[in-house]
Structures are given as structure tokens and as C-alpha cells.
Amino acid sequence: MANENDKILVHICCAACFSYLHKVLSAENYDVVAIFYNPQTHGKAEYLRRLKDVESYCKENNVELIVPEYNVQEFFKPILPMQDKNSIKYIGDKKRWRTKRCQKCYSLILTQLVSYALENSIKIITTSLLVTPYKDHDEIWNIGLELERENNVRFYYKDFRKGYWSGRNYARSHKMCIPLYCGCVYSSEEGILE
């Protein structure tokens, strides 16, 4: 349980997942500051659709929101060599490609989360990626702990997956979008969620 007014910087993937996470963190007395950093989101229209719902949720629930500039190249730069057959980093196996691609994405998001936390003097971080059952929690946790060791921040881990359907139901009842894929172009091609 947090001390009253302990700030926590929370990465938001979508309003559905964040609605549950925010409820839990608020009940634990955290002062939540949110950041919508998602360069992996495929298509500016999809990005803006998700952002609109996040802004609406944050405004309605009095949550401070940070929105860095959308730059999809931040996502593609580290993973493109893995798809280049002429690169030593090339990965031809589909399962391994997906695993490595997601690792790079988690690392990018959490590294930027740490940067924003340090810039804003916030000592605790977490992510709404921990709400979805479609993410590799062990990998997210490992990256979070590594960043915690390297920086002066604490990575707050809890298995929030039990709130996945609660968040989706919240989004439905508030006429918010429910993402049909994780975010990147590859996930949109690989299949839909739910």
C-alpha cells in the first residue's frame, strides 16, 4: 500500500486496460500520473482513436496525462534489421520473430517510461500492458526489474490480468474503443484479440 500522495507514472496502452489499473492503484492510495507513449500503434487514425478515449478517461477521472509526440519510427528502428534478410540480426522463424519484436517493444516503452519518470521526479512506474493476458508478463517484469536496478525508480509489478474483462466492459459501457489488436502492424496482421 502506498503512502498517501506517492506518485506513480503509469504507461497507458488504451483506456480499457487503464480503467481497471487506475481503479486498483487509486484504491492503494497512489497519485497516478499517466503517459500515453505508444509509437508501436499502427496507423495514426488508430493511435488518435485510442488517445481520444484515454484523454476522455483522464479528464473525467482527474488524472494528469503526458502525451509525447507520436513517432512510429521509434518502434521500427530497432526491429527492422530483424526482418532484413541481408542483416546479421535477421530472424526467419515466425515465433522467434514475434518474441524478439515484442521484447524490443516492451523495452522501448519501459525505457521511455523511466526517462519520463526521472524527468518528472517520479520514483515508481508501471504499465497497463500488465492488464492484458496477451502480453508476456515474465518479459515485462524482467525488463522492469532490469531498469529498476539501473535507475533510481521502482517497477511496480502486479498481475492485473484478472481485471482484463472489467476494463473491456468499462470501455463498452462508456462507448470507448476496444482495441482489436495489440498495436503494431504485425499484431494487426497476426490476428485480433478477444
Asked whether residue 111 is domain-assigned, the answer is yes
Q: Is residue 162 part of a domain?
A: yes
Domain containing 132: what range? 6-187
> Is 129 contained in some domain?
yes
- The CATH number that applies at residue 155 is 3.40.50.620
Whether residue 194 lies inside any domain: the answer is no
Q: For residue 192, is it within any domain?
A: no
3-state SS string over the chain? CCCCCEEEEEECCCHHHHHHHHHHHHHCCEEEEEECCCCCCCCHHHHHHHHHHHHHHHHHCCCEEECCCCCCHHHHHHHHHHHCCCCCCCCCCHHHHHHHHHHHHHHHHHHHHHHHHHHCCCCEEEEHHHCCCCCCHHHHHHHHHHHHHHCCCEECCCCCHHHHHHHHHHHHHCCCCCCCCCCCHHHHHHCCCC
Q: For the chain, how many structural domains are there in total?
A: 1
| Angle between helix 137-150 and 94-119 (nearest 10) | 40
What is the pLDDT tens value at each position of the chain, 194 positions in all? 666 569 999 999 999 999 999 999 999 999 999 999 999 998 899 999 999 999 999 999 999 999 999 999 999 899 888 888 898 898 888 888 889 999 999 999 999 999 999 999 999 999 999 999 989 999 999 999 999 999 999 999 999 999 999 999 999 999 998 888 788 888 877 765 44
pLDDT (tens digit per residue) in 48-60: 999 999 999 999 9
Q: Give me the pLDDT at residue 2, please.
A: 61
41 domain residue, yes or no = yes
Tell me what pLDDT residue 194 has: 42
Q: Is 53 part of a structural domain of the chain?
A: yes
Q: Residue 80's pLDDT is what?
A: 86
**Closest by alpha carbon to 144, among 6, 36, 8?**
8
Q: What is the pLDDT of residue 179?
A: 84
Answer yes or no: is 59 within a domain.
yes
